[in-house]
Amino acid sequence: MNSSPIWLGEMLPYLLMFFLTALAALIQVPRAYYGVLFVLSILFIGLRFEVGADWESYLYIFENSKTAPWIGLEGLVTDFGYQIINKTAAALGQEIYFVNTAVAIIYAVGLFSFCNTLKDRYLGLAIAFPYLTTVVAMGYTRQSAVIGIEMLALPALAKGKIRQFIFFVFLAALFHKTAAVLLIFPSVIFILQLLEAGKVIYAAAATAFLIPFILVANSLLETFSYGYLESQLSSSGALIRLLMNLLPAIAFLLEYYAGRNFFTYTPKIYLALAWLSILSFLLLLSGSTTAADRLSLYLIPIQVYVLGNFPYLFLSQAPRAVHFWRLILIAYSFAVLLVWLKFADHAFAWLPYRMYPFI
C-alpha cells in the first residue's frame, strides 16, 4: 500500500483543481475567472492520460473507428454521436485526446451553463467536482456527454420549452441510448401538478400510463452496459451513489413542503428530480441494482442544484450565515473527493493523474 506522502502526491492535481474551484466560492474573483475555470476543466478532463477504469475500452473503440464506415450499422447499434467524434479524430490524424476533449467541451458547456442558473455558480462547480467531474466525466465518457446535454435540457424544461427539451434529449441519446430515460421528467412534472391540484384520479391514470414506459426505460438501463466500469455498477457502491442524490432530495422536499422558502418558488423539474431520487430506491429494492445506479447518474444534477443554492435556502439569511454554509458544503465536497480517491474500488484507475503531453 502506498505511503501517505506518495498517495497525496498522486492525487495532488485533483486537490489543486478542487482548490481553484472552491476558492472562487469563498472569495471575490474577477469575472473572467469563470471562463478560466471553464478552459481548465476542459483541459483537465480532455487531456487526461490513462485515467478512468474504462480507458482501455475507449481506446479500443477509437482504434476500431479508424476502419469503421462513417455511417453504417455499427454506428447505429453503438452510439452514433460518439462514433462520429471518433471518426473525425481518426480522419484528422488525432489521438484519443481529441475525442476526450470534444466530449469534455460538451460536458463543460452543460455544467457551466447549469451552474450559471444557481445563486452561487462557483459553489455549484465545487459540489460537482468530486463525483460528477472527477468520476463521471473522467470515467463514464459517453454518459458525461449525456449529462452535459441534460444540464442544458433541464433549464429549457424549467421554462416550459418542451420541444427544445426533446431536441436536447435526442442529441443526448446519440451519445448513450439510456438518455431516453430523460423523457420521464416531463411526465413526472405533469403527475406532480395533478396531485397538487387535488386531481388524484387523473394523477393515478397518468402514472398507470407511464408505467410501460418506465419498464422499457428500466430495460434500457439494464441492457446498455459497456466496459469494465459500467459492468461493475451493481456493486455495493450503488447504494452510496443513490444516497448522494437522496440527501439533497430530502432537503429539497422538506423545504418545499414544510419550509416554503427558496425551493418552493423554483421550477417543478427540480421537484421531479427530488422525487425520482427517492423513488430510485424502489429499483434498488426490486433487485434492479444496475438500473437504479444508472438512473442515479442522470439525477446527479439535483445535487448541484440543491447544494449550490443551499446557503440561500432561507431568503432572509445574513451574509455571515451564507458564508458559513458555503464552508460546510465545501468541506463536505472535499471529504467526498478524499474518501473516493482513497477508498473507492476503482480509485486506482484515477491515480496517479497524468496529462498529455506531460507523460
DSSP track, 248-264: HHHHHHHIIIII-STGG
Whole-angstrom distance, CA of residue 211 vs CA of residue 225: 23
DSSP type of residue 357? T
Between CA 84 and CA 96 the distance in angstroms is: 13
Q: What rounded mean pLDDT belongs to the chain?
A: 85
State the average pLDDT over residues 155-167.
94
DSSP 316: T
Strand partners, 48: 355
SS3 288: coil
Those residues with Cβ within 8 angstroms of residue 218's Cβ, 6 or more apart along the chain or in another chain: 283, 288, 291
Residue 233 banded pLDDT, cuts 50, 70, 90? very low
Q: Under a CB-based contact definition with an 8 Å cutoff, are residues 238 and 230 in contact?
A: no
Grouping H, G, I as helix, E, B as strand and the rest as coil, residue 328 is helix
Residue 32 near residue 83 (C-beta atoms within 8 A) = no
Query: H helices of the chain, where?
Result: 4-26, 33-46, 55-65, 73-77, 80-91, 96-115, 121-128, 141-158, 162-173, 184-196, 200-223, 227-231, 237-254, 268-285, 289-298, 301-309, 319-343
Task: Assign 195 a pLDDT band (cuts: 50, 70, 90).
Answer: confident
CA 35, CA 183: separation in Å to the nearest integer? Answer: 31
Q: Whole-model pTM above 0.85?
A: yes
pLDDT band at 322 (very low <50, low <70, confident <90, very high): confident
| pLDDT band with cut points at 50, 70 and 90 for residue 53 | confident
**Cα gap 193→159, rounded to integer Å:** 15
Has residue 235 got a pLDDT over 80? no
pLDDT tier, 237 (very low <50, low <70, confident <90, very high otherwise): low
Q: Tell whether the model's pLDDT for residue 141 goes beyond 70.
A: yes
Domain boundaries, the chain: 4-350
Summarised one tens digit per residue, pLDDT across range 92-132 is 999 999 999 999 999 999 999 999 999 899 999 999 999 99
For residue 194 the three cell numbers come to 395533478
pLDDT above 80 (res 150):
yes
Give the pLDDT of residue 286: 67
Scored b (16 or more CB within 10 A) or e, 131-155 reads: bbbbbbbbbbbbbbbbbbbbbbbbb
Distance CA 300, CA 295 (A): 9
Query: 339 falls in which pLDDT band (50, 70, 90)?
Result: very high
Percent of the chain past pLDDT 70, that is, above it, reads 84
Give the chain's radius of gyration (CA, Å): 20
Mean of the pLDDT values across residues 5-32? 87
Q: How far apart are CA 11 and CA 254, in angstroms?
A: 36
- At 71-86, the pLDDT tens digits run 665 555 568 899 999 9
